[in-house]
Amino acid sequence: MKNLSKLQQILDSGQFAVTAEIGPPKHSSAEGIRHHAEMMRDYVDATNITDNQTAIVRLSSIAAGVHVLNCGIEPIVQMTCRDRNRIAMQSDLMGAYSLGMRNVLCLSGDHQKFGNHPTSKNVYDIDSMQLIYYLRRMRDEKLFFSGEEIKEHEPRFFIGAVANPFADPFEFRVDRLEKKVEAGAQFIQTQCIFDMERFERFMEMVRERGIDERVHILAGVTPMKSWRAAKYIQNNVSGMIVPDELVERLKNAEDPKREGVDICIEQIKYIKENVRGVHGVHVMAIAWEEVVPEIVERSGLYPRPKVG
């Protein structure tokens, strides 16, 4: 049982999972990470540790994962294709596994143009699909990406990937999800859902093909602090759709932060009750980690199941 991640056990047993996100700091102290981890510990099943999110240099995802693990939370190490070639990826992931990490999330990563090192060389040696495929093969067939045999102690990760129902071309989004599942993705976290209608259409297509029976889909939600934040995402973040009504609702609210949390809780409840095929939620409270326990509790997802 030691090899199975807690997240996998919860999902495989058919329970509704809750994951959150911790963004490592732009410095080398783990104090903040530990603070957030302790706060979230009893409220989530695992937490993503972002990997130089938006191409901004931050404390390493794997190192942060160790701190989180020491606080008693299961980390989901994020691995982007932007910064490492296939040699570095395998080495880092074997290292992560040796340190006790059991979940990995494979992403292509935001382009370096948006970060604090826009003149860096982008690597993109392999893409996220290939990363998923080869990590699965590493585990199931004991082979390095090159095809060379791993004599012993192959890393046995629970493999995750992302899906963005709000990017284009829309019809291809489900194809790509299916392709990721075929490649070996076992759980999927979606991009933040603001446009529920589109998400439901997406899930309808997913169910039609029975993909929800082959992979665990966790719906991504994000509490917004202000209408300005909503407007910013609406206008400036590609691959995201924020409906005007949502911006308006935050604008008209007396206490926008409260409203943001309320909206997020409504979304979770709605998804859990109405959108078939969703197996959990992924709460991305970007730079607002403190609010996660409240969201989980008020959504009726507390206490979390015990496993192992």
Partner 1 sequence: MIVAQQKPVEDIAQMIADCKKVLFVGCAGCVTVCLAGGEKETEVLASAMRIKRNLENNPLEATTFTCTRQCDPEYIVPLDNLVKDVDAIVSLACGVGVQYLAERFKDKWVVPALDTKFIGGSVTHGNWEEKCGLCGDCILHRTGGICPIIRCSKSILNGPCGGSQYGKCEVSKDVDCAWQLIYDRMKALGKLDKLMEFQPPKDWSKSRDGGPRKAIREDVMID
Q: Which residues would be at the binding site for partner 1 (CB under 8 A)?
A: 81-82, 86, 108-111, 113, 122, 124-130, 133, 145, 162-164, 166-169, 172, 175-176, 178-179, 182-183, 191, 238-239
Question: Closest Cα partner for 150 from 162, 159, 141?
Answer: 141
- Cis peptide, bond prior to residue 169, ω within 30 of zero: yes
Minimum CB distance to partner 1, residue 108 (Å): 5
Question: Closest Cα partner for 239 from 285, 282, 195?
Answer: 195
Q: Which residues are CB-contacts of 44 (< 8 A; sequence separation ≥ 6)?
A: 18, 19, 20, 73, 283, 292, 296, 304
Minimum CB distance to partner 1, residue 294 (Å): 28
Reduced to 3 states (helix: H, G, I; strand: E, B; else coil), residue 218 is strand
- When the beta carbons of 238 and 274 are compared against partner 1, the nearer one is 238
Cα–Cα distances (Å) from 252 to 226, 246, 247, 260, in that order, read 10, 10, 9, 12
Minimum CB distance to partner 1, residue 171 (Å): 8
Minimum CB distance to partner 1, residue 299 (Å): 25
- When the beta carbons of 123 and 196 are compared against partner 1, the nearer one is 123
- List strand residue ranges (DSSP E) for 61-102, in order: 75-80
- When the beta carbons of 148 and 152 are compared against partner 1, the nearer one is 148
Is the sign of the CA dihedral 246, 275, 108, 155 positive or negative?
positive
Minimum CB distance to partner 1, residue 169 (Å): 5
- When the beta carbons of 31 and 127 are compared against partner 1, the nearer one is 127
- When the beta carbons of 137 and 257 are compared against partner 1, the nearer one is 137
> Which residues on adjacent β-strands are paired with residue 143?
149
Minimum CB distance to partner 1, residue 107 (Å): 8
Find the helix packing angle between 196-208 and 170-183, rounded to 10°: 50
Max Cα-Cα span within the chain: 62
- When the beta carbons of 178 and 212 are compared against partner 1, the nearer one is 178
Q: What is the chain's length?
A: 308
